[in-house]
Structure 1
Amino acid sequence: MFNPSQDDVRRFFCGVHAKNQGNQPMEAIETLAGQWIAEHPEYHADLSDADAAVKRVYTGGDDAQNPFLHLSMHLSISEQCSIDQPRGIRQAVELLAARRDSLHDAHHEAMECLGRMLWEAQRAGRPPDGAAYIECVQRRATRD
């Protein structure tokens, strides 16, 4: 899944949710995604119908958070930490998780940094700045 379409991503998470519900065996990436899905029961209804999920449009204006974007960011941060790429992200997220006493809360804070980095890169037409991303997570980890 190196360049999945929006439909692919939505079907992936819906499929993982279905496997979780049916106690079916999963591949490693599905198991990881399933753990984040379990942390977000508020998304289970959105994940229960893949065809409806593919058709749904999330505008951001109706206070409905896009569960697929949110879960994708959890999965991305997990993968970044597993390979420490960008270099230093694992330590920064671990420090933030220790300070917040919650990996889940740490991910949510790291998501804000990740989203900001991507938005700034896109707006400026330049590559994402991994160092700025890590600095943002580190700042959050060291403030009270």
Structure 2
Amino acid sequence: MFAPSQHDVRRFFCEAFRKRREQLPLTPMETVAADWIDRHPEYHAELDDVEEAVARNYAVESGRTNPFLHLSMHLSISEQVSIDQPHGIKQAYELLAARLGSAHDAQHEVMECLGKMMWESQRSGLPPDGHAYIDCVRRRATR
């Protein structure tokens, strides 16, 4: 199982950003990451300095969004949708994107459901509930 450290994840996004900027070849995963980075110019300055990015603390109390968490969630959701895992996420996401008229806005809605599922799993000590996650996305798609 691949389990990158926080620093590995931050370096990955910074490297994808650098390679895109310099028009260097990207791996398929870097391409997906760079596409999401392009949609979030508010994070570009933070991704530009690798050492600062690795050292920075994004405490909840600071009130700042952690760009690496946000981008990681985009990447995770993109992967889930591409392989339809958990089963049903692809259809639920596509319905939500159609309703909102925006794949990016749909990703942000799915992020809320993903974050809720992870928080509940951590709080309860139980495995993440994929069915509750899909149900959450479906509810948002049909409001």
Fold match by TM threshold 0.5: yes
Using the alignment, how far apart are the partners of 2:128 and 2:17 within structure 1? 31
Moved more, 117-126 or 56-65: 56-65
Using the alignment, how far apart are the partners of 2:2 and 2:34 within structure 1? 19
Render the CA deviation track for 1:56-95: whole Å, top value 9, x for unaligned.
0001222210000000000000000011000000000011
Q: Which residue of 2 aligns with 1:125?
A: 125
Amino acid corresponding to residue 21 of structure 1 in structure 2 = R
Q: Which residue of 1 aligns with 2:87?
A: 87
Q: Which residue of 2 aligns with 1:9?
A: 9
Residue 59 of structure 2 aligns to a residue whose secondary structure is coil
Q: How does 1:39-54 map to 2 (within 5 A)?
A: 39-54=39-54
Q: How does 1:72-83 map to 2 (within 5 A)?
A: 72-83=72-83
Q: What is the TM-score with the length of structure 2 in the denominator? A: 0.98
Q: Which residue of 2 aligns with 1:105?
A: 105
Q: Which residue of 2 aligns with 1:57?
A: 57
Using the alignment, how far apart are the partners of 1:94 and 1:34 within structure 2? 22
Deviation at 1:2, TM superposition (A): 1.7
Using the alignment, how far apart are the partners of 1:46 and 1:96 within structure 2? 30
Amino acid corresponding to residue 124 of structure 1 in structure 2 = S
Using the alignment, how far apart are the partners of 2:66 and 2:79 within structure 1? 20
Using the alignment, how far apart are the partners of 1:21 and 1:127 within structure 2? 39
Using the alignment, how far apart are the partners of 1:2 and 1:79 within structure 2? 15
Amino acid corresponding to residue 127 of structure 2 in structure 1 = P
Identity of aligned residues (%): 64
Residue 79 of structure 1 aligns to a residue whose secondary structure is helix
Residue 61 of structure 1 aligns to a residue whose secondary structure is helix
Amino acid corresponding to residue 77 of structure 1 in structure 2 = I
Aligned length: 143
Gaps of 5+ in 1: none
Question: RMSD in angstroms over aligned alpha carbons?
Answer: 0.9
Q: What is the TM-score with the length of structure 1 in the denominator? A: 0.97
Moved more, 58-67 or 31-40: 58-67
Deviation at 1:125, TM superposition (A): 0.4
